[in-house]
Copies of this chain bind each other. A is one copy, B any other.
Amino acid sequence: MLQAGLHNSRRASVRITEVSPRDGLQYEPEFVPTLRKISLINALSRTGVTEIEAGSFVSPAAVPQLADSDEVLRAIDRIPGVTYSALVPNERGLERARAAGVDKIAVFTAASDSFTRHNIKATVQESLVRFRPLVAAAKRDGMAVRAYLSTVVFCPYEGRVPPTQVRDVMDRLLDLAVDDISLGETVGRASPTDIRKLLDTVLPHVEPARLSLHFHDTYGMAIANALTAWWDYGITAFDASAGGLGGCPYAPGASGNVATEDLVFALKATGADMPVDERLVAVCAHQLGDAVRHPLNSRLSQLHHRDKPQPAWRE
């Protein structure tokens, strides 16, 4: 555990990458109309999140839910202080991202070959080779680069993934000079003990400020994991999805991405300084509600749309 510096990092502001417009809507069965996507992103831009994953430039045939990302990225308001990113799998995607004026591209790999084979038809090693020219070209054009590193504790096909295997892939991503790395706990069944083992293994190789942690709440441990990463390890960046949008691709209807409003509420309640207004985030998710046609997967949203009044006191 990196005890040194924890006190300071605990006081550093905690940043959120809001992933609902991409990672969220990609897994929603309903196509959300383009104008609703634009409104969602514009509203999210005013909640205090520092980065929004606004779209995806993968093949529209592969992910029809995000086939309109070019249009969305061109039409949104660009709020100063917010970084707008999009997923980019290849040169063709990079061209589209450049044309749409994204600030940052995101590339996607994982710590386990079975997962990358299923998702991007490549081994981990092959994905890293693909990234090399992409990352270099993006940087030449002044775009920042985020790398997703998924299956950091469990792989849905292989089971438990050793932390050293995650660290080795992370090392390769750092060699490519990506700006930040999002470590994804894809299956959502890791516990704080697993997160401690992971961070004990990777933190000696990377500055904590370059990491973002991406938790799924499938088994209800996402908040506990995030609080452990922040409180015990000084991790100050997390990915989250307004309203818990996105669900869990391995169990339809079950919880996937941790809900931004719940995560922000918990971090603030635990003492984190952060500029995000969780009530505004919950409103963004609620406004999208009828377009996704299912109840939102968020404690705060469940609580704030009830007929009985809340307790009278306020802190």
Residues of A at the B interface (CB closer than 8 Å) are: 154, 156-160, 187, 189-194, 217-221, 223-224, 227-228, 231, 248, 250-255, 259, 262, 265-266, 269-271, 298-300, 302-303, 306-308, 310-315
A289 to chain B, nearest CB (A): 15
A155 to chain B, nearest CB (A): 8
Question: Within the oligomer, what is the number of copies of this chain?
Answer: 2
Is there an interface contact between A262 and B157, defined as CB atoms closer than 8 Å? no
A231-B192, A270-B193, A271-B193 as given contacts; A220 in contact with B254, CB under 8 Å: no
Is there an interface contact between A303 and B160, defined as CB atoms closer than 8 Å? no
Tell me, in angstroms, the Cα distance from A159 to B221 when the chains sit together.
27
Tell me, in angstroms, the Cα distance from A193 to B298 when the chains sit together.
22
Is there an interface contact between A310 and B250, defined as CB atoms closer than 8 Å? yes
Is there an interface contact between A254 and B160, defined as CB atoms closer than 8 Å? no
A227-B192, A266-B224, A269-B193 as given contacts; A251 in contact with B217, CB under 8 Å: no
A194-B269, A219-B265 as given contacts; A303 in contact with B231, CB under 8 Å: no
Contacts of A314 in B (CB 8 A): 159
